[in-house]
Structure 1
Amino acid sequence: MEEQNQPLSSRISTVVPATPRDEENDTCHLSCTDMMMKLHYIKAIYFFTSEAAQGFLSAHELKKPMFPLLDLYTKISGRIRRSESGRPFIKCNDAGVRIVESHFDMTLKEWLRQNGFGVEGVVHDHVLGPDLGFSPLVFVKFTWFKCGGLCVGLSWSHILGDAFSAFNFIIMWSKALSGHVPPKSLHVPNSIKPSPSSNYTIYMKKVTVIEEQWLATSDTKVVTQSFYVTSKQLEHLVKATSNENNKVSCFEVLSALLWKYIANIRQGSETKVVTICTHGNGRRENEFPSNNSLVLSIVEANVEVEKSDIQDLVRLIGEKKIVGNYHLMEKLEEENGWKEDFVVYGANLTFVDLEQANIYGVKLNGQKPIVANCAFHGVGDKGVVLVLPTSQEDNEDESKRRMITVSLPEKELDQLKDKLEEEWGITSYMQLFDDDQKHN
């Protein structure tokens, strides 16, 4: 199977901004929130049929709109530097974004049947370092299949901005590809960090990194798998956990379900506290990449989570979140700097709300991907759960579907997979695809 996953050919090139900057170049200051995310990476994939990819037989046409686009996204073409104090910043030196081209001797359906909808193989596996001055912050990978299908894979350093920022960059690229003129400038979003209600600082875990790379070492193998929740399954879950006076979101329901199951698998007190990651409202596609809209909270259960009703856990997530005190984080930075390395996602069990993300806003020849997905790389061994939409169509049935992308230690993920299928009939995308093939 590994031999079949090897590309027939692979090539790496660089795209730089169309307009050279002056000799002085600009620098981009990294905020406290940016620094918290420096060991994390966002991986997004978009699978297109041969009809959608028609006419894009090489990377040449796909790369062309990226040159002027990078005039807007100045910092993603830059490279990490360190000040005299050792604090990182981004030098906007037009070093560029890496482009990877690969071709596989299998059809898109064969790939999906064999690999599911994971990011491995169709997103470049990049991390920053060991030589930060030469490490690209972004890789875009174009993977062609022998049927003419195409996958666009994005590897985005989280220090640049959150998942919404990453998705918006690829959306802007696809619009430029179709002939839309990019805006003259990008809106710089304001920080919307809420006033904290306690002295709780953001939950992070101190880690060591692999040599000089910005990636945490780990003795535990963390793997990722996506699960598909149908409209009927989701409707049943929501009805079982809400009433007219207590409207709940799909994110809250699915997070509560997985919180309970993972607590049952672990059989310990470590899952009594979880991290909830949400994003500010009003995000626009033409915003400059930023982490300023991230809101990190904790939820603490005073009961045995594995024995609790899902409805009670939903209520905790919806009503008992304690927002992190960003002012305390900034004070901590002033006192100690960033001389140590930390992870946020997976420092304890983390749930990330991406329900409102326009991950299906990318189009080729006017067509959306048949499926899009996202995963986080560099997460801690306590695990991360992403809740994503399955499409953005104006269809009531479609709006009630969700994808859950879960990163957990391998043994725990296998047990979770069994629990979801046995008790709710929730399967992985790979299983769903295999079942579809049997009926066709």
Structure 2
Amino acid sequence: MNVQILSRKLITPSSPTPHHLQNLKISWLDQFLSPHNYLPFIFYYPSTGDENNEERSKQLQNSLSEILTIFYPLAGRYIDNNLIIDCNDKGVEYTEAQVSGGLSLLLEGGELETELRNHLAPHPVQPDNSPLVLIQFNMFESGGVAIGLCVTHRVADAYTVFTFVRTWATACKLGVDEVLHAPSFQLPSFFPSRDTISSPNRFIGRNHHKIVVMKRFVFTGAALSKLKAVVSASVNGSHQPTRVEVVTAVIWKTLTMVAQAKHGRLRPSLLSHTFNMRGKIAMPIPDNSCGNFINVALSHFTADDETKVQLHDFVDRVYNGIKNMVSDCARVSSDDELFVMAEKIRIETIKAFTRSEMDLYMFNSWCRMPVYQADFGWGKPGWVSGLYVPGVEMVFLVDTKDGDGIEAWVSLEEDTMLLFQENPDIKAFTGQEL
């Protein structure tokens, strides 16, 4: 398969942003994140047999222009020195591409398709004044389309991205007047930026010379039911594990065993799990707040835990880490309280990352987000995927289309991945990896 770029343009808001909204200060939560990191997604739509892709592209562009009036910061440009988004209506980048072959071949998967997937989303460059959102509309020669999307993490978390995409889809299918809830961009007023925050580039690969590969492991609903039953029998009903808890625990346990095989001993590790704080803190934050409103829940495996290496032990660690974060957030009633909590977590994470004798495992869950609700008028996506990000070791969890299972996108060093994918638990509870 070959991807040929046909056109590239900027889509601007259908009406200008009011003067009083043109300078949006970022929050200190935005400052914590890397300015050069984009959130990439691809939405795949199988052929309906009667598609007019030229008309589809026009509808996408027109509706995108309309919703940029309410998502006005995304059409602006980030100014690093001033810690602001200049909401100047310069627009988002929109690219059309032709792909040889059919989408069905890509959806069948395989190692050779990983590189192709990375060509279905725009590749952002990093100069100042670059667009905050980049979109690529891919038309497959034998039918089907895919929409690749990259949004800078500096101004958006996954909740914001999926809210944006769902709103865009609604406007494209039904008209912008059917968009019922406008996003809120009030987070900077609750959590203003701070001069004391150091450089956000906190996770530069300590083994940057290593080759990192990504594979997808599918935990079906049936497999998760078996896992939850095994864990529930071992924890004596103390709590019913969630799908995310058991998948996280299986992967963490496996990574711990792999590290033991590589180093000849059990190694301490810190698990970092992204946590959506919307609706979780004692402050009047709008539930539809867009921007970055995330923290991380931490769980520990220490030398004292050498006798606790069963799956239910790892489930307990994950559960307790999330429970503690929920409890801590519920007590937060001010900007300063949240900052102290977040800074403590950040310092602990950075220390773990820089300690050669300790492993840090970073997880990000998009489960229960409206990933498969993006119906632009030609049905919901047949699949939604992430992208391979070179050099970054991380685990992303996302619901399967039926909502019962979980896809785990695992990025590891090449030698670690070889051991990981052969682990008995991984082979027993997952489908074919990509």
TM category (shorter chain) comes to 0.7 to 0.9
How far apart are residue 102 of structure 1 and its match? 0.9
Q: Choose 62-71 or 48-57, whichever is displaced more.
A: 48-57
Sort the Cα spacing of 1:428 and 1:52 in 2 relative to 1 into closer, same or farther, 3 A. farther
Sort the Cα spacing of 1:186 and 1:25 in 2 relative to 1 into closer, same or farther, 3 A. closer
Q: Is the 8 A contact 1:122 1:151 kept in 2?
A: yes
**Match for residue 389 of structure 1 among 391, 399, 403:** 399
CA distance in 2, matches of 1:233, 1:207: 33
**Match for residue 274 of structure 2 among 277, 286, 306:** 277
How far apart are residue 49 of structure 1 and its match? 1.2
Q: Does 1:225 align with 2:229?
A: no
Q: Is the 8 A contact 2:421 2:427 kept in 1?
A: no
Q: Does 1:250 align with 2:243?
A: yes
Q: How many residues align?
A: 387
Aligned alpha-carbon RMSD (Å): 3.7
Sort the Cα spacing of 1:189 and 1:253 in 2 relative to 1 into closer, same or farther, 3 A. farther
How far apart are residue 217 of structure 1 and its match? 9.9
Map of 2:333 onto structure 1: none
CA distance in 2, matches of 1:35, 1:422: 36
Q: Is the 8 A contact 2:187 2:291 kept in 1?
A: no
Q: Map residues 211-360 of structure 1 onto 2, 5 A cutoff.
A: 218-243=208-233, 244-267=237-260, 272-280=269-277, 287-292=288-293, 294-302=294-302, 303=304, 308-321=309-322, 323=325, 326-328=338-340, 348-360=360-372
CA distance in 2, matches of 1:326, 1:377: 30
Q: Choose 92-101 or 111-120, whichever is displaced more.
A: 111-120
Map of 1:97 onto structure 2: 92
**Match for residue 39 of structure 2 among 35, 38, 42:** 42
**Match for residue 7 of structure 2 among 7, 11, 15:** 11
Map of 1:62 onto structure 2: 60
Q: Choose 232-241 or 111-120, whichever is displaced more.
A: 111-120
Q: Does 1:413 align with 2:432?
A: no
In structure 2, the gaps of 5 or more residues are 191-196, 329-336, 345-352
Sort the Cα spacing of 1:76 and 1:375 in 2 relative to 1 into closer, same or farther, 3 A. same
CA distance in 2, matches of 1:45, 1:305: 41
Q: Is the 8 A contact 2:14 2:65 kept in 1?
A: yes
Return the letter of the residue paired with 1:61. Answer: Q
Map of 2:120 onto structure 1: 122
Q: How does the TM-score come out when normalised to structure 1?
A: 0.77
Q: Is the 8 A contact 1:375 1:386 kept in 2?
A: no
In structure 1, the gaps of 5 or more residues are 194-200, 210-215, 333-341, 392-397, 431-440
- Where has structure 1 moved over 6 Å in runs of 4 or more? 283-286, 329-332
CA distance in 2, matches of 1:149, 1:101: 14
SS in 2 for 1:256: helix
Sort the Cα spacing of 1:427 and 1:60 in 2 relative to 1 into closer, same or farther, 3 A. same
How far apart are residue 378 of structure 1 and its match? 6.9
Alignment deviations for residues 286-340 of structure 1 (CA, whole Å, 9 cap, x no partner): 9352212x131211123457970010110011114554974237889xxxxxxxx
Sort the Cα spacing of 1:49 and 1:10 in 2 relative to 1 into closer, same or farther, 3 A. same
**Match for residue 369 of structure 1 among 381, 394, 415:** 381
Sort the Cα spacing of 1:278 and 1:53 in 2 relative to 1 into closer, same or farther, 3 A. farther
How far apart are residue 245 of structure 1 and its match? 3.5
Map of 2:334 onto structure 1: none
Map of 2:73 onto structure 1: 75
CA distance in 2, matches of 1:65, 1:104: 24
Q: Is the 8 A contact 1:279 1:353 kept in 2?
A: no
SS in 2 for 1:64: helix
Higher helix residue share: 2
CA distance in 2, matches of 1:148, 1:222: 32
CA distance in 1, matches of 2:173, 2:372: 16
CA distance in 1, matches of 2:287, 2:120: 26
Alignment deviations for residues 4-25 of structure 1 (CA, whole Å, 9 cap, x no partner): 3x32443211101111235786
Return the letter of the residue paired with 2:381. Answer: P
Return the letter of the residue paired with 1:63. Answer: Q
Sort the Cα spacing of 1:273 and 1:330 in 2 relative to 1 into closer, same or farther, 3 A. closer
